[in-house]
Structures are given as C-alpha cells and as structure tokens.
A and B are shown apart, each in its own frame.
Chain A
C-alpha cells in the first residue's frame, strides 16, 4: 500500500473545493438551516459528487484519501461555524470505514467505491439527526402541558424522527451509491475503462 504524499493531499484539497461547490449547490443554504439541511443534503450532494469521489479513487487511490477529504470538509465547516461535535465524529468514523473499504489502489472496483461513498454520506447525515431527536424529546412535555395527548405527540415525534431517519439512512445511501455509478458512466470514457478500454496499437 502506497503512502499518501503531499501531491495527493494537494489534489484532494482541490477536489474538495469542487466537492464543496456541489455541496453548496445541493444544500443551498444548508449551514443556515442547520441539522435538517445537514440531514437531507448529503444524499443530493453524494449523488452529484459521485464523479468526484470516483475521480479521487482513480487519481489518488491511496489509503487516507477519504479521511483527508472529510477532514478538510470538517475544518472548512467548523471555520464557518457549522461544524458540531456529533457530526464531526460520525463523519470522520465513516470516512475511515470508507478508506478501509475502497482505498487500496487506484483500480478499486466501482461497487466498492460506491459503497464507500454511500457510507460516508450516511455518516454526514447521521451526525445531525441524533441531537435533533433529543431536542425534540425535550419539547414533548411542553406540548402535552399545552393540551396535546401523549399518544398523538408520540406518533408525531415518531413520524418526524422516522422520516428523518429513513431519509438520512436509506435514501442518502442509495443516492450516494447511484452517484458513484453515474460518475462511472461519466468518466469511464475518459479513463478508458470498461467497454471503452483502448487496446494497444489501435
């Protein structure tokens, strides 16, 4: 396994800049709308930036690539006052898992890269949902005092939390996964992969 070099870090930093532009496009004003935005946008972002993730895996292809990508994103978001602890933790953990799955070489099969991207983006989504749950729980009593029945309140909370949970896990994962495949369809001609492999001396 090759060690990640300064050249790779610079390339990753540049691609992260591109990634953040897609993040902004997909989330719009995510950092203003906070946890909810963070829960929805990773999926769209993962879908749009699949090509970037695949590109990193092809051009860097070394262990640590996704961790570096995520760490830069964390730093940038923290600088903008939009990074918070549970989010930092889940993001970094899933980035590390992504590296373990798909950073062995620059020829990692697309399915592993897609899996890695899916996990990473779920990590981004999850970190924001957990504190929101606690936040909502603490309002339960207030509403009950104001006349809501505990049953309807619980149903509503379950629904809200459930929706956020499902969106953040399944949909985010699926979108990010498909995004990498889309990236593959876009880039395979460029990389001369799959059916576009050019034979020598053609």
Chain B
C-alpha cells in the first residue's frame, strides 16, 4: 500500500535532528562565551542562505528551471523588513531629540524629522510613497511576502506564458535582477540609492537587549524557518506535486499531453520559491545590518545556483549542505584567516584566490560529480547509477525498429 510520508522521506528526521543539535550546540557555545556574537550572526545568516538554497533546489533541482534571479527576491524581502526597522528606529531617535525642545512634537514634525534623517543622505527630505506602510510592522511583514510574490507572479506569468525555457529563461531572470539593482541604485528610487538601508541590527524598542542576545534570537528564528521550510518542501516533493514537477523537468511536452498545465505549475513553483527566498532575506538582513542594491547583483543569484550544484541538485539536504559548506568556507577564505601559500615566485593569497578555487570546484563538480556533495550519501548507502555514458536503455536485443519481425 502507500507508504507514509516519513518512510518516503527518510532524510527528514535526520535533518531535523541535526539542525536541532546544531542549534543547541551553538546556543550553549554562545551562552558560555565560546563563540563570538559575530560568529553567531554568521551562522544565523548561513542558515538563511541555506533556506534560500532550499527554494533554489525546488525550482532548479526539482522543476528544472534555472532561475538566476532569485536573490532579487531575497534582497526585496530584506528591503521590506529593513524599511520598517529603519523607520521605527529613526522614529525613536527623532522623538527622543524632539522631547528636548520643550514643546511636545506634532506627528507632522516627527514625520518630517524621520524623513530628513533617513533621506538626508540622498539629498531629499520627503518620505517617498513606497514608505507609506513603513510605520507598521504587520503591513511591512505582509509586504515581505506580497511584493516579491507579486513580482514573481507577474514576471513568471509573462515568461512562462511565452514558453521561454532553458538558458533563455535564465538570461531573462538575470536581466530582471540586474534591472532591479540598477533601479535601486538611483537615489530617487526611494530606497536611498547605493547607500541602501543600514543599522538594521538595532531592533526598535529593544535598546536594553544586547546584540549577543538578539543574535541568538535571530539564529533561532533562522533555524526554525529552515526546519519548517524543510518539512514543508519535503512534503511537497514527496507527493504527487513533486512527481509532476520532476516530470516537467524531464519532459514538459509529455506532461502537457497528460493534461497538466505546465505553465501553471512553473508559475506556482516560481512564486512559491520567490516567497520562501524573500522570507529568508527578511531574516538575513537584520543579522547582516545593512542592505544595498549590490545585493541584487546577478552574481549573488549565480552563487545560489553554485551552492545548489555543489551540494547536489534534486535533493533537499544537498542544497542545504552546499549552501552551508560553500558560504562558510567563503567567509573563512575571504575573512583573511586562511593562511597564504608562498610559492616563491608568487603568493597565493586566499582573499583573491578563493573565487578561483570556487570556480574550479564548480567545474569539477559539474564534470566529475554531477550529484554534488549529496552524492557522497548515495555512495555511502551503496547506491550507484549505471554507467551508460549517457545512452538511454535502448530497445531489447531482438526488437526490430522499422520492419515487422518475422516468425
């Protein structure tokens, strides 16, 4: 009979257990002062990147759509939460400073004060219309999901309806994120141009709480979000929906003739993953403290694809492992802590050479280990794919292709 959800996804319990142990270990280490606040933040941010990679795996590894623009949704999620953080934080400062002037401040004065505080840096003193909801946390939280979701819905509808697929779609998504980045770089885009939003690590109303506590809160929230997303996505891909999207990846024309609206499914997955990535971004940027349009650069989305490829496409834990390993290694190498290698005639300085190493690793994974790090688990479990050199399992011996077999 049909097997239960848990037996179909044996990795789920292991993953949740590992995540829980990791969370407890980090919490204890931070509590006893064995781990710096900045490292807790790095780990928390890494969990957010893992969450984004999870979504990337759903759309690329399962549905076969190589989107090179998902980090745009990540950054948009960050911008949406950042607007509230910055507004509420500035409001506190403005109210406090107006208190000193003797007369109670009017709402207009406060509004004016906030606007000139935030936008003085780009030479404006009015709050743009897109900041209309920035005073309200619930509204801005809705926007975290709604704005990237809507953008993905419209973009996806236009792209999939025209049956843009493969590399053309990848280019189109990349153009989308680049266009968005260029737009946000403008000072009059209403999001402070290339200054971006800053001071996001300071939570409004929580001045009394120190950053080491806040960093742990965000770490826990990131871990919980990753765990919940893993649970939800495991459930989605283990059922018939997962079967349909894998079928679309392998042969979309056939799926169409089975009566499934391929475009509808692609749009669904594109929007769903955009929303997940946006949530990851909304958890990431308060830990990073700053967001600017450079975060929407196409390279960020390409990194996302590289993580998933190195970790192993088409399996959820692969994406998480890839994102964690590569982004932690990246911060180690680029943090200047990796020892340089003197070669006599030159010195390999990892801050510069890390990207070469990453690129080489990506090429090697693509050529020699298409299953990525996740493939190690298969090797461990003794699963091996037959080596047919890419040829399909052809007709049997004795079958005839064109002519009727004779008796």
Q: Is the pairing of A and B real?
A: no
Could you list which residues of chain A lie within 8 angstroms of chain B, going by C-beta atoms? none
